Chains A and B, each alone.
Chain A
Amino acid sequence: MNFSLLKLEMATCGLAMLVLMLEVFVQRRDRRFLGYVGAAGLLAILAWSYCPSVTAGGFTVGSGFGGMWVNDLMALYFKRLFLVGTALVLVMSVGFARQLEGGVGEFFALLMFACTGMMLTASVNDFLMLFVALETVTMSFYILVAWLRRQQQSLEAGVKYLILGALASAFLVYGITFIYGTTGTTGFAGVAAFLKANAASAPLKIGLLLVLAGLGFKIATVPFQAWVPDVYQGAPTPVTAFLAVGSKAAGFVLLLRVLFDALLPLKPTWVLLIGALAGLSVLYGNLAAMPQRNVKRLLGYSSISHAGFLLLGVAAADSFGVSAVLFYLFAYLFTNLCAFTVISCLAGTLADDERENYAGLAQRSPLLAAAMTVALASLAGVPPMAGFFAKFLIFAAIIGQAKWCLVIIGAIGVVVSLYYYLGVVKAMYWQEPRETAAIPVSWPMKALLWVTMLAVVGIGVFQGALAQRALEAAKELIK
């Protein structure tokens, strides 16, 4: 038992509890500043993750806790992604705090608990551990999604997420029992060894597919995507952002681990399955987004289509494809946070998130309009934004595997997506506003907007370093 392998997770969890305790000692009106404490703490942990004592103390060597836990470059890559994402979401939540009722300290703490869970998922090497880590994330989100108890939409979203999430968890745990029943083990390595030695029996296949269904719910791929638009629309905006960037990334790291560690012998089969799901998600997400007029809902559908693009990278099933997925997730993180920050800035001013309300935003707040444009351009994959290069890598990977059918579907998806993303841009810049009053933006939100915008453009222009790290991590996963 080497607890030092869990240093980062324990620190994050401790930070969450610290914030929870501090809330008691802080005046009610100052409590929202606890979000900054949390964000600063997470950034400190992020800086700590670069210390040689952490990287040398386990991240280069294999596993721990009887093979349940693996620390490698990919785990570290995702842990850093979660830390950055959560810190930014915390800052966004501080700006959103006026809309949040009740204990904001608990809200922040829950975000950080979810972050702890996500960091656990990055190191999972065992189906039991997978379930525990995933539930840590999901439980926190059940509460977060329904946080605005007095708003019918939020409540409805919370109930839907709870019921469907429970259903997905049930599938997952049911699948795990099948796996344990047939192989006698829950470790990824054990399952892989079993699959190498024996042909996959039907019960084992059922088990594995049920597990994949549970993960499919997390990453919001077709046909497990139904919850996404409603929940994205109803949840408090920072939570929606966190769902989009954190929860999805957690789903993907688990998917990558399961596919490339446990199911490597079955690669020819799952490549087909993932490819089919990817194509369906790209088509469904983009086509269904077209008639959308609500911006938050639009981003929900776009999230489904991005899950599809990410799965395209998984379907390439080589180290280049996986590195594209890793890169994509980071680019997607900043892009989405940029977009949702704009939405949360507008939450107090606009009646709702209908596209009509965005008309003439450029006149009311040039900064918000510019940030939204950068984010949407990146989502659509317009150079030089981060999203462009991410899509470029994905396409390069599947073209490298000569999967032309998927290339064509992806290309159709990109073209369709331009229509609805640019529709919002058009409304912001070329339509007359209903009101002309300037929209105030507080300075932390301004800072957040600038940080995310610069990150989106910066990653797009100087992609070398990040792509390199992603490739290193991917190469460690696929030996």
Chain B
Amino acid sequence: MEDVSGLLWRVLAGPLSAAVVIWLLCHKSKFYTDFGPIMERQAAAFIAIGFLAGSSLFGYWAFGAVRDGAQMENRVLYEFLSAGDLMVEINWSLDRLSGLMMMVVCGVSLCIMVYSIGYMHDDPGISRFFAKLSFFVFSMLGIVLAGNFLMMFIFWELVGVSSYLLIGYWYERPSAADAGKKAFIVNRLGDFGFLIGILMLWGITGEVDFVRVKNQLAAHPVDANLLAVATVLIFCGAVGKSAQFPLHVWLPDAMEGPTPVSALIHAATMVAAGVYMLCRVSFLVFGSPVAMEIIAWTGGITALMAALIATQQNDIKRILAYSTLSQLGYMVMAVGLSNPAGSGYMPAMFHLSTHAFFKALLFLSAGSVIIALHHSEQDIWKMGGLLKKMPITAGCFAVGALALCGFPFMSGFYSKEAILGLAYDHNPRLYLLATVTAGLTAFYMFRCFFVAFFGNTRGEHAEKAKESSWVVLGPLVVLAVASICGGWFGIPEWLVENKAISAEHAPRAVMIAALAAFTIGVGAAAFLYARGATTDALNKLPVLSWVLRNKFFIEEIYMVLVKAGQGTLAWLCGFVDRWIIAGLAVRGLAATTRGTGQVLRLFQTGNVQTYALWFAAGATIILYCLVR
């Protein structure tokens, strides 16, 4: 077996060094000017892309090694911490799962970084942007390659930090700064559960390494309820990061970040980390039916709820954000419904990979529209008629939308079919829910498409819109090709080596129902919006539209809960703090300690005779005690 661990170091080192180099050079802006006018603004972009390309190359080698059968689970690279029974090592896990995810992350990141050159062209902080983006890619690859829970948690938090930094990239806008904070805090809620879950698991098995935990659990079965609790707690981490109900509130706000960030982090990679993590610990999840049930329903509810909300959003990025939520719900549901003996986590990971490409494509197309509208308009009702003005962007958006809705032979068709087939086999209620969601998906995506690209232009910015430059369109076309062909590369065969299982297709009824849902959704959207509507037809159903537009009032409910809960808690804490802790504990203890300190100071007379006396007296006392 060739040594792939060295390769993995290099994969990780690339983006990290890019971040460090850019950060170091950022201080000396003169460095850029020395390289001429092109380098002056774009040096950071070239550094970031160059390093990432190198990383991707190494990643591809490692990927090839996996394809040739190298298994590098549990290779200890460095003992990070070893004390008594606790042993934490730095080790990577490279197998088919992480290999696939690594290639997805590298591929999508590369496209998006190239695109950012165009999108961020006029931004003064462009080098800061690329430094942060590189740092994000580093953290994300760390999650993918981590070989134990501790490392995964560290990189998990690093991803959270870089997401915070990138959402709040335009920190001078209060809304962006608030959105960053919100994302971070809501994620922390989930991570708290994640951490407790890891600690519980460590308590149960005495290990934190994935492979050893697995072996330990296989060798010494533990109480199923205990394991279910630990699993659900670990799932909390995924609920936060993958924005599942009820912690989904941060993701739509995260659209305050630059569009490439939304595409990379909040659509294609980071939010998928929760799903990836569930697949990575599938040995845990599959071992507890209760936890799987909870996971499946969380995903299903998120999918439906987000799809409903998306039908009444007007901001192009927010529509995509809710569609991301909905698709993540699909993936989580797929994990919860998986058949351990059969396809395993394949449907979830399959959908994750295809989704990464077509969702990145959709966001980047939306970004291209936003560039054309001079970064000042995101409301689809103020667009209209863009099809003629920007045909390539419109085409790419349509490809993305079709793939997302599961149009036959596009990538999303295959992966969605795999999930629907799974639901059909295991849980009829969730199957119904998923099919309805599929219909809604087609509806809101084409609502967005028709309103933004068809009809007459409805805004002054839209009048003057032009097609974007090639540095923007290039990545779009690449991603569009990937979105069309993503289902043909044999991802299911890659994940499930058993040919009989991976070649299985969903029953014909599932396929027909999915196609029917697609047709109804697109038909309804076309009927309501394709003929140059200027206002939303759903306004005629005031209550429904009011509820959906306000996102089921979940945020408002949270506000009330937080205010009431926090108010009571604050009063209680204030009381305890003022009267019990400050009064008795702190002042009492502090006074005692300080008093003791003052008394002890008296021994320090500064007189050498006294010191000698203490010395002798101390020795005598010890002598007396021991020799007595």
Contact = CB atoms under 8 A, between A and B. Distances in A.
Contact of B597 (A171, A287, A468): A287
A291 B604 CA distance: 13
A273 B622 contact: yes
Interface residues of A, number: 40
A305 to B, nearest CB: 12
B79 A164 contact: no
B615 A464 contact: no
Interface stretch (A47-55, A243-251, A374-382, A392-400): A392-400
B363 to A, nearest CB: 37
Contacts of B622: 209, 213, 223, 273
Contacts of A468: 79
Contacts of A213: 615, 618-619, 622
B534 interface: no
A257 interface: no
B608 A160 contact: yes
B608 A217 contact: no
Interface stretch (B81-89, B101-109, B311-319, B383-391): B81-89
Given A209-B626, A269-B626, A223 B617 contact: yes
Contacts of B81: 463-464
A288 B600 contact: yes
A416 B593 CA distance: 8
A427 to B, nearest CB: 18
B615 A205 contact: no
Contacts of B601: 288, 291
Given A206-B627, A269-B626, A229 B597 contact: no
A217 B627 CA distance: 21
Given A396-B84, A416-B593, A464-B79, A226 B623 contact: no
B594 interface: yes
A307 B621 CA distance: 20
Contact of B612 (A164, A320, A462): A164
B618 A222 contact: yes
A330 B616 CA distance: 31
Interface string A446-479: 0000000000000000111001100000000000
B489 interface: no
Contacts of A230: 604, 606
A417 B611 CA distance: 24
Nearest to B79: A464
B615 A168 contact: yes
Contacts of A463: 81
B618 A224 contact: yes
Given A163-B608, A287-B593, A393-B83, A224 B615 contact: yes
A403 B596 CA distance: 25
Contacts of A206: 623, 627
A379 B130 CA distance: 37
A191 to B, nearest CB: 17
Interface residues on B, range: 20 to 34
A159 to B, nearest CB: 7
A287 B596 contact: yes
Interface string A294-332: 000000000000000000000000001000000000000
B528 to A, nearest CB: 58
A197 interface: no
Interface in A162-204: 163-164, 167-168, 171, 202
A169 to B, nearest CB: 12
A142 interface: no
Contact of A273 (B82, B83, B594, B626): B626
A209 B627 contact: yes
Contact of A223 (B84, B594, B606, B618): B618
Contacts of B600: 284, 287-288
B619 A210 contact: yes
Contacts of A400: 84
Interface in B587-613: 593-594, 596-598, 600-601, 603-604, 606, 608, 610-612
Contacts of B604: 226, 229-230, 288
A297 to B, nearest CB: 9
Interface of B is mostly: helix
B619 A164 contact: no
A217 B618 CA distance: 11
B575 interface: no
Contacts of A217: 615
A464 B78 contact: yes
A381 to B, nearest CB: 15
A160 B611 CA distance: 9
A457 to B, nearest CB: 14
Given A227-B611, A290-B594, A291-B597, A205 B627 contact: yes
A206 B620 CA distance: 10
B84 A464 contact: no
Interface in A138-173: 159-160, 163-164, 167-168, 171
A414 interface: no
Specify which of A171, A222, A291, A396 lies most central, judged by the most chain B CB atoms within 10 Å of its CB: A291
Nearest to B610: A226
B571 interface: no
Given A164-B612, A205-B627, A226-B603, A290 B593 contact: yes
Interface string A396-415: 10001000000000000000
A320 B84 contact: yes
Contacts of A209: 619, 622-623, 626-627
B614 interface: yes
A10 to B, nearest CB: 35
A284 B604 CA distance: 12
A320 B86 CA distance: 14
Nearest to B603: A226
Interface in A226-259: 226-227, 229-230
A464 B80 contact: yes
A160 B608 CA distance: 6
Interface string A11-51: 00000000000000000000000000000000000000000
Contacts of A462: 78, 80
B612 A163 contact: yes
Specify which of B78, B604, B621, B623 lies most central, judged by the most chain A CB atoms within 10 Å of its CB: B604
A291 B621 CA distance: 28
20 contacts: A164-B612, A205-B627, A206-B623, A210-B619, A213-B618, A223-B621, A226-B603, A226-B604, A227-B611, A229-B604, A230-B604, A273-B622, A273-B626, A287-B593, A287-B596, A288-B601, A290-B594, A400-B84, A464-B81, A467-B82
Given A222-B618, A226-B615, A287-B600, 10 more contacts: A164-B608, A206-B627, A209-B626, A224-B615, A226-B603, A226-B614, A284-B600, A287-B596, A464-B81, A467-B82
